[in-house]
Amino acid sequence: MTKEQLFLFHGNDNFTSLENVKTWVTVFKDKHPDSSLICINADEVSYTDFLKDLESKATAGSLFDEVKLVVVKRINTYLGNKSYNLKTLISVLKLLPEKTFLVFWADNEINQKSELMNYFSKSEQSKVKIFSKPESAHGFNLWLEKAAVSKQLQLSNSDLNLLAQYFGRDLIRKSNNQTLFPFNLGEITTYLEAISASLAIETDSKKIINDLITPKVNPIIFDLTDLIIQQNTRGALDKTQLLTKIYDPIEISNIIFWQFRIILKIIAARELGNSDSEIMRVSKLSYFLFNKAQSIAQKISLDQIETIYQILLEHDYRQKSGFDQNWLLDLLIIKLSKS
């Protein structure tokens, strides 16, 4: 095998590590046919099937291009479980043709003592890269700048500083020698994508950013609303858990109320025959806010909104009756998701 033929990307910053994998794939596809790229999701197949798939696809020759890239996502699915014989996997790695490159991606940090890591550390053909979450305000600023660039978003230093102050407000606060950071790094890119979309319509980036970082327009809460409409209860509860690290449960409930009022207005206006541009003009909603609310409004009917409002009114009554607010919020999410 040639030097650096095997690659392993892992770490607790799984957003950046995955972005690196995507870059590899993009660069490879620019130079080679699609048939030379093989992607395997380890968490979607059994270990036995994974080994068969890897061996057959990675070691087989190609009629069109002798160079091949194999990307295995979430390889950590098979690590840490003694029932999986990693020696078999390692034996497959040794069979790779000279011009086949293999990239393993793990969505968390792999134990340095694992059998796979031991093999990678001893193999001259392998390279391991670990991606860690930033642990300082400066480190986070650098991460944010790179993330913005990855989304083709050119922001001024003052714009980046404004975002960094908002997201990194708890970054340097320590507890039990661990950095407290309420945001999942992948979630932050939701904001960057929203800024990018808004800049296509508006030009005042500072205004866009200030609008986005207010709780009402929080893209993550819109994601929660979307999960509710999809009746994805588990996903909605997970998103709620993230949000309660940032906002008070009552504040989250109030924002959900507000968002559904916006959605109701859009549905009602459509029923009256108003165009999207007219609705956006009259409601004075920003492009991002209208776009998010509109995408959700398309998925529900007036009858569903009526049911949702009954649940919200019941929740409002309970909020004022002395119940635990975190429990009430979870109950609200479950009921809305099943409505």
Give the end of a domain, one of 100, 130, 160. Answer: 130
Residue-wise pLDDT tens digits, 166-217 = 776 555 444 444 445 556 677 777 778 778 777 776 677 777 777 666 666 6
Same domain flag for 154 and 258: no
Higher-pLDDT residue of 81 and 48 is 48
- Shared domain for 164 and 246, answered yes or no, is no
In a domain, 85, yes or no: yes
Residue 104 pLDDT: 92
Distance CA 239, CA 223 (A): 8
Give the structural domain span for 229.
Answer: 214-339
Q: Is 8 helix (H, G, I), strand (E, B) or coil?
A: strand
Residue 49 located in a structural domain: yes
Indicate the DSSP class of residue 79.
Answer: S
Q: Residue 1 falls within a domain, yes or no?
A: no
Specify whether 218 is located in the same domain as 335.
yes
Do residue 252 and residue 313 come from a single domain? Answer: yes
Looking at the fold, whether 185 and 220 belong to one and the same domain comes out as no
240-297 per-position pLDDT tens digit: 887 787 778 888 888 888 888 888 888 888 888 888 777 777 766 666 677 778 888 8
Say yes or no: 82 and 185 in one domain. Answer: no
Same domain, 161 and 223: no
Helix (H) or strand (E) holding 115: helix 115-122
| DSSP for 240-307, written as a single string | HHHHTTTS-HHHHHHHHHHHHHHHHHHHHHHHTT--HHHHHHHHT--HHHHHHHHHHHTT--HHHHHH
The DSSP string of 26-77 is HHHHHHS-GGGEEEEEGGGS-HHHHHHHHHHHHHS--SS-S-EEEEEE-GGG
Query: What are phi and psi for residue 70, nearest 5 degrees?
Result: -115, 120
To the nearest whole percent, how much of the chain has pLDDT over 70?
Answer: 86
206 and 305 inside one domain: no
CA dihedral 82, 88, 90, 91 (to 10 degrees): 160
CATH number, domain with residue 282? 1.20.272.10
Q: Based on the fold, state whether residues 206 and 224 are members of the same structural domain.
A: no
Task: Tell me the average pLDDT of the chain.
Answer: 80
Residue at 202 is within a domain? yes
Let me know whether 232 and 200 are in one domain.
Answer: no
Where does a domain end: 130, 152, 187?
A: 130
How far is the C-alpha of 294 from the C-alpha of 196, rounded, in Å? Answer: 18
Quick one: average pLDDT of 123-144?
Answer: 82
User: Is the distance from CB of 172 to CB of 136 less than 8 angstroms?
Assistant: yes
Give how far the C-alpha of residue 66 lies from the chain's centroid of Cα atoms, to the nearest Å. Answer: 34
Are residues 144 and 111 located together in one domain of the fold?
A: no
User: Residue 48 belongs to a domain with what CATH number?
Assistant: 3.40.50.300
User: At which of 91, 111, 130 does a domain end?
Assistant: 130
Burial of 307 (C-beta count, 10 Å sphere; 0-12/13-18/19+)? middle
Cα angle: 164, vertex 250, 264; to 5 degrees? 90
Q: Are 208 and 198 in contact (CB under 8 A)?
A: yes
Q: How far apart are CA 35 and CA 66, in angstroms?
A: 11
* 108: nearest Cα among 174, 25, 188, 16: 16
Terminal-to-terminal C-alpha distance of the chain? 57
Number of domain units in the chain: 3
Planar angle of CA 203, 153, 290, nearest 5 degrees:
55
